[in-house]
Amino acid sequence: MTPDPAETRPGPADLEATPVPLLAAEDVTLAYGRVPVVHGVGLAVEEGGVGLVGESGSGKTTLARALLGLLRPRSGKILYGSRDLAAMGRRDTARFRAAVQPVFQDGSEALDPRMRVGSSIGEALTAHHRLGRAARAERVAELLTDVGLDPALAARRPHQISGGQRQRAAIARALAVDPRLLVLDEPTSALDVTVQARILDLLDALRDGRGLTYLLITHNLAVVDRLCRTSHVLFAGRVVECGPTRELLTRPAHPYTMALRDAVPAIGGAPPRATGRTEAAPAADGCPFRLRCPLAVDECRTRAPELRPLDGRRVACHRAEEVLSGAARR
């Protein structure tokens, strides 16, 4: 049986050992048919949480599906601890699915409309052979309480509760099997602003109370900053910048990261600025972002930048030093 990644982490007497990431992608390429969507992405999900940031169509949800074992890479590996998902047997795969649980954008996606909320949550316990019938109802009530819901809502169907309540119930369903990692795919974008804040408060509390790790997929750097220590920024299926989330927010080194940051409106501030041609598709040669980049030069047209280390992060931009120094002055 595959060892739990938590069991392979070093203890106090082994602090110099390198921790094994809970979940990782190694040079992963993904495609739908003959159309490549993700190009050679590397990602390690460790304690503290990781954000996967990018606009719609950047490949972040496709990569998340591969990390959940729902898509098989065209090349590269998805690792749970030190084991390749593709090489796992049935028992180890079941253990992985209990340890890594998804929370989707709309809570309705996790709740069968024909089933009562309590039955949907209890179904997860049944699938993973957790508890007998008598104990399941009690456990469902505990989970609903943990996510701030009245246990009486277990008797209702998804259409009989609000969007925020559905999302909390979906989180309760994910928590039913005591996971180590939640893959959160735009968990607040379908909710209004006040409900978003409450869901973020809930995720904060659950992370601290249960020792959870999050992989958060979003287009909003302000949201990922609250929940994740590090972030990877995707554009057209490629990582263009990765590093500490706070550094990426305050001192971006890639023009695309800067555009994502500047797209977040501030209360009482100036309207978000447009950066380059926002409708332009990725370039087929050179830097994929060059058709939208206000800093593009001849080198950007002829040579694709490699992901390279710079000032505590990694960035794929020929002019990253200039972007970084400009961001520091803003």
The token pair at 92 is 């180890």
pLDDT tens for 93-129 read 999 999 999 998 877 777 889 999 999 999 888 887 7
Task: List phi, psi (to 5°) of 321.
Answer: -60, -40
Q: Per-residue DSSP letters for 139-152? A: HHHHHHHHTT--GG
CB within 8 A of 156, min separation 6: which ones?
A: 116, 117
Mean pLDDT across the stretch 192-201? 85
The token pair at 137 is 């109802």
Q: Where are the domains of the chain?
A: 5-9+22-250, 254-330
pLDDT tens for 228-283 read 999 999 999 999 999 999 999 999 999 999 998 887 665 444 544 545 555 567 88
pLDDT band at 12 (very low <50, low <70, confident <90, very high): very low
Q: Which architecture does CATH list for 5-9+22-250?
A: 3-Layer(aba) Sandwich (3.40)
pLDDT at 166 > cutoff 90: yes
CA-wise closest residue to 69 among 37, 41, 44, 98 = 98
Contact 216, 224 (CB under 8 A): yes
pLDDT tens for 25-66 read 999 999 999 899 999 999 999 888 999 999 988 999 999 999
| pLDDT score of 59 | 93
pTM confidence score: 0.86
| pLDDT score of 120 | 92
The token pair at 330 is 């803003």
